[in-house]
Amino acid sequence: MKHELKTDRETFKAVWSGDKTYEIRFDDRQYAVMDILMLRETQYSGEEMKCGMPLVYTKHQMAARVTHILRGPVYGLMPGWVIMSIKVELRRVDPLEEV
């Protein structure tokens, strides 16, 4: 399954560079190992959007495959949340094609 996800600029850049190899998300999409996360960089952070800024995407996008999932409640991770290990398979600076 594919999931299109908004990603704040700072977090997006850490994944893009390879420094960050995981995603922490609310588990509302039944994430599974081998899913593809279509990460789209947003111009404004989630906090800025909560304060009224519009949802605007940059041209930076990535496709990352989920390789492992840790589901809460465990190790301080709240129920309903997941930590997904990811491996970036594609980086694009224009609209992302189907993977």
Distance CA 47, CA 59 (A): 20
Distance CA 60, CA 2 (A): 17
**Domains parsed from the chain with CATH numbers:** 2-90 (2.30.130.30)
Average pLDDT over residues 21-25: 98
pLDDT in tens, 30-84: 999 999 999 999 999 999 999 999 999 999 999 999 999 999 999 999 999 999 9
Confidence class for position 98, pLDDT limits 50, 70, 90: low
Q: Evaluate if pTM is beyond 0.85.
A: yes
Give me the DSSP letters along 16-82. HHTS--EEEEES-S---TT-EEEEEEESS-HHHHHTT----EEEEEEEEEEEEEEESSBTTBPTTEE
pLDDT surpasses 80 at 88: yes
